[in-house]
Amino acid sequence: MKKTKTYQRSFISQSLHTIRKVAFASLGTAGILAFAGQMFFASGVQAYTQMSSRAILMNTNLAGATAQYTLTFTPYGATSIGTIIVDFCQEDPIPGDTCTGPSSMSLSVGSVTAPSGTGISGWTGKTIIGTHAIGFYNPSTAQSPSGVITTVWGGNTNPNVTGTFYARILTYAAVSTGETGVYTSTAIGTPIDAGGAALAITVGITITAKVQEQLTFCVWTGATCGTGNTVNIGAASNGDWILSSGNIYGDANTQFSITTNALHAVNVQAFGNVLTSGTNYIEASGTSGMGAAAQGYAATAGTPQYGFCIGTPSGQTNTTVLLAYDGNTSTTNGCTTTPSFSGTGSTATNGILGTAEWFAFDIASLNPAGNGESVLQMNAGSNLGGRVTFVADISTTTTPGVYTSTMMFVATGTF
């Protein structure tokens, strides 16, 4: 008979322990398991009620990361409480069970938002308990909150391994350090409410997207990019383009566009030579000879001249043209994207220039044997561009011939 009674007590004790484990372990999947009106038991202590709801939010769940934790919970009843303890364990969320702190996890009270909610205030007490628990308390007065209680603390270090770990959340009537000074994971004293939460540490997902350096540079004389590469300077006459000393001639068919993602601008270098016919040439200006430097000249009828200027659209502020090729600061004869042509043999884009635009041609730098000349810079952007106007004049003594020049524009992006 005595053995039978002992067996019955042992069976009842084991059953209660099993129910307790089922109730708390369910937190990992269902989040909350509540038994209205029932009491839970931890080994060797009085009963406590399970919290109505509870959660701990981590602002990052990466292994080993510095994290901020936000605790929210709702006590089961309106009983006065003075202390809240949160204990982090590797094994399970059940108060009173054996508890090992999660690997390399550490807690901090350096940045704490005190517990708050309806009926609760003045909770300025905070302390680390052992190596894996934290306590919050009211220094002097137990209070009876209603509804959700929230507290936030930062500077914590997450466990350094992936997987699930648990939090045991307990409330006590004691104020000040009356409870936090004696609490251990397996000797939990007499909590009023308790509950568990499951948390998970995961790896971060690395997303990679590559952006290549891009530079599209197009120079053309036709209708669109990629069409046309010839310029005719003069007035149309019997199928030819003829220069005369009585006018200033130009061609504005040359356009360019740049699209780039270069962070440090695109530099456009120009290479070329003056108009030549055998050993004869039409120089950069009638007074400079073949040693012309990068300076602007006013186009003057009757004077042997050759050069170009670069016009960019009004409002295109991310473009800088070398001053000599940008009208030389002239407000009346500066280079534009829409120069005017008029007179016999002229079209809308070439022939006799109606406005005596300024131009330049740095022979020493532009010569293909040299390093070229930086005539234009553009910051990163899409479809930036402009127009190049070539200008030529002759005198009454300019040697007859077919004069030609080849110009090259090279764009280089600094990324």
- The domain total for the chain is 2
- The confidence band for 187, taking pLDDT boundaries of 50, 70 and 90, is very high
Assess whether 315 and 183 both reside in one domain: no
Contact between residue 173 and residue 134 where contact means Cβ atoms under 8 Å apart:
no
Owner of token pair 């120089």: 283
Q: Is residue 68 part of a domain?
A: yes
Q: Is residue 3 part of a domain?
A: no
Assess whether 86 and 228 both reside in one domain: no
> Residue 383 pLDDT more than 80?
no
Q: Is residue 13 part of a domain?
A: no
Q: Is residue 208 part of a domain?
A: no
Dihedrals phi, psi of 173, to nearest 5 degrees: -80, -30
Assess whether 223 and 265 both reside in one domain: yes
**CB-side neighbour CA atoms (13 Å) of 107:** 25
- The confidence band for 4, taking pLDDT boundaries of 50, 70 and 90, is very low
pLDDT for res 154: 97
Assess whether 176 and 231 both reside in one domain: no
Angle at 138 between CA 194 and CA 198, to 5 degrees: 30
Q: What is the pTM of this model?
A: 0.65
pLDDT for res 202: 95
Residues 256-278 have a mean pLDDT of 91
d(CA 415, CA 399): 48
User: Under 8 Å CB-to-CB from 314, ≥6 apart: which residues?
Assistant: none
d(CA 261, CA 240): 43
For the segment 103-146, what is each residue's pLDDT rounded down to a tens digit? 999 999 999 999 999 999 999 999 999 999 999 999 999 999 99
- The confidence band for 384, taking pLDDT boundaries of 50, 70 and 90, is confident
pLDDT for res 117: 96
Owner of token pair 């290479």: 271
pLDDT for res 334: 64
Q: Which of 99, 103, 160 is closest to 133 using CA atoms?
A: 99
**CB-side neighbour CA atoms (13 Å) of 138:** 20
Assess whether 126 and 176 both reside in one domain: yes
Position 357, amino acid: E
State which of 126-130, 279-283, 369-373, 378-382 shows the largest mean pLDDT: 126-130
> Residue 177 pLDDT more than 50?
yes
Domain boundary among 174, 201, 228: 201
Assess whether 255 and 130 both reside in one domain: no
Q: Is residue 296 part of a domain?
A: yes
Q: Is residue 268 part of a domain?
A: yes
Assess whether 117 and 151 both reside in one domain: yes
Position 218, amino acid: C
Domain boundary among 138, 168, 201: 201
d(CA 254, CA 241): 17
* Higher pLDDT pick, 213 / 47: 213
Assess whether 150 and 239 both reside in one domain: no
As beta bridge partners, residue 116 has 150
Q: Is residue 8 part of a domain?
A: no
Cα separations (Å) of 208 from 65, 135, 205? 21, 42, 10
- The confidence band for 225, taking pLDDT boundaries of 50, 70 and 90, is very high
Lowest mean pLDDT among 45-49, 230-234, 275-279, 374-378: 45-49
* Higher pLDDT pick, 147 / 337: 147
Assess whether 226 and 91 both reside in one domain: no
Assess whether 45 and 189 both reside in one domain: yes
d(CA 349, CA 70): 71
- Maximum distance among all Cα pairs of the chain, rounded to whole angstroms: 141
Assess whether 339 and 390 both reside in one domain: yes
Contact between residue 309 and residue 375 where contact means Cβ atoms under 8 Å apart:
no
Domain assignment of residue 359, given as a range:
215-413
Contact between residue 118 and residue 146 where contact means Cβ atoms under 8 Å apart:
yes
pLDDT for res 351: 93
Q: Which of 19, 44, 48 is closest to 168 using CA atoms?
A: 48
The CATH number for 71's domain is: 2.60.40.1510
Judged by DSSP in three states, 135 sits in: strand
As beta bridge partners, residue 67 has 156
Contact between residue 356 and residue 345 where contact means Cβ atoms under 8 Å apart:
no
Assess whether 250 and 125 both reside in one domain: no
d(CA 381, CA 271): 24
